[in-house]
Structures are given as structure tokens and as C-alpha cells.
Amino acid sequence: MIIDAHTHIHLDPGEPGQTVADLLAAMDASGIDKAAVFAAPINGLSTERVLADIATHRDRLFAVGSVSPIMEPFRRSPETVADWLELGQIRALKFYTGYEHFYPADERLRPYLELLVKHGRPVIFHSGDLYDKIPGAKLKYSDPMAVDDLAAEMPDLKIIIAHLGSPWALEAAQVCYKNKNVFSDCSGFVYGDFDKRQRRRFTEHWRIFDDVTEGHAGDKILFGTDWPISAMRSYLKTVKRCAGKDRKKVFSKNAKRLFGL
């Protein structure tokens, strides 16, 4: 089984090739069995919209919800998030720290994070580089080192650093290695397909994770593409080369364990 732990729909509203049908077609063409579909306040996509869009495809798609402590239209009460978790509607929550200007350990997030601990579900933080189509983003909030504070303060919370923290792979790897409760997905390195230069860069990030974790990068990394930003088939080919003997962990076991699939 192959699970894509990081995809989007309607990332650029109005642009073609971003619907659930398009996602399923890309999965079929790449041999991907299941995918996490992310809500995203930064592009106006609510958790409720994601749940409605994937409702008839829950055999293959699962929702990663998102709430905002800053953007009023996307504020949700802890009671609402508790309902989503108790009904199994969402498998995680993602926060877009660099785009919304807060750190992972922000006290405003604690009620939601405590709910995730209660239900054994992970939190995901955007980390590393920021999408250039979204103005006003600030890199200091997406530095993966900021995750360490939260990981130390809430050791029972499962945490996923998105995008290997790129370009801060060394820092992201160190946070993952130090904290048993921290992992990373490998999504979002390219627009479209990998070329030779991008593949070398991705491979170097993976090597850093392997070096820091003393050869156990496969215990910490989840396969993810960031579709439709990145092309699934090209991503799959690149990650297979890096994962080697750890392919089962990277492509399915880690995601199954963290998301409770």
C-alpha cells in the first residue's frame, strides 16, 4: 500500500486540475492507494468543505482539518474540533504558522493540541520555505527548530514537520531525532516534476535525515507529495530511490500508525 500523506484540493481557486476527481485520477495513474487531503485557511478552504468534497470517497481519502487562531472566518471552537475527531471525520490538524504568524507552542493552540493527544492523532505544522503566491509570509515562524519547544512541552503529542523543514533539513532532522514524538513528511520540494538538480537536492535532504538519525530516516519520514504543486508519479519515483529498504515504513507503515488508519 502507498499512502500520500500530504495533498490539497482547490489550492488555487479557479485553476483547473485541482478537484477530488483530479486527485483520484492522479492517484490511479501513480499507483497510490490512499491520500490525506488538507484543509487550508490560507487559500480559503475550510475543513467543512474538505469533508463535503471527500464524503463519497472515504475509502481512499481522509481529511486533515485546519483551524486558525488568527483568521476570523476559520476560527473554530475546541468543541467543534472534538466533534470532528470523535466522529472520525478528521485524522489530524494542520497549522500554517509561517503564513499566519504564530509559533507551534503558541498557547492559543493548546486546547486543540490537547484534543489531538486525547484521540491519539497528530498535529502537522507547515515548515521551511513558503509558497511565493501568498504575500506577507514570514520565515521565522516556519523554522522547524520552533517545533522543539512544543515537542518537549507535550511529549505525548504526535507532531509532523511538513516538507522535511526544507531548506532547514539539518534542524528538522535534529528535532525529529531528539524527540520521539516528532516526524516529518517529505512533500512539496518541486513545482511539477523533478529535474536532475532538484532530485540531487532532495536526495541530499534525505541523506541529512539519515545521518542525523544514525541510519533511521525511514522511522521518521512519511511519503507525501503536496499535489497538485508536485507531480505524484515523479515524486514516487524519487522517494523510492531514497527510501531503499525502508520503503514500507515510508510509504505506508508510518502513516498508518500516526493517522490511525
Mean pLDDT of the chain: 96
Give the pLDDT mean for 72-92.
97
| pLDDT band (50, 70, 90) for residue 185 | very high
Is residue 135 scored above 90 in pLDDT?
Answer: no
Give the pLDDT mean for 228-242.
97
pLDDT, residue 175, reads: 98
Give the pLDDT mean for 237-244.
96
The answer to whether the bond into 228 is cis (omega within 30° of 0) is yes
Closest residue by Cα to residue 148 from 114, 122, 172, 112: 172
What pTM was computed for the model? 0.96
Contact between 163 and 187 under an 8 Å Cβ cutoff? The reply is yes
Residue-range domains of the chain with CATH: 3-259 (3.20.20.140)
Is residue 13 scored above 80 in pLDDT?
Answer: no
- 17-70: pLDDT as tens digits: 899 999 999 999 999 999 999 999 988 999 999 999 999 999 999 999 999 999
Is residue 167 scored above 80 in pLDDT?
Answer: yes
Give the pLDDT mean for 95-124.
97
Phi and psi at 53, nearest 5°, equal -70, -35
- 208-234: pLDDT as tens digits: 999 999 999 999 999 999 999 999 999
CA angle 140, 243, 220 (to 5 degrees): 45
Contact between 158 and 120 under an 8 Å Cβ cutoff? The reply is yes
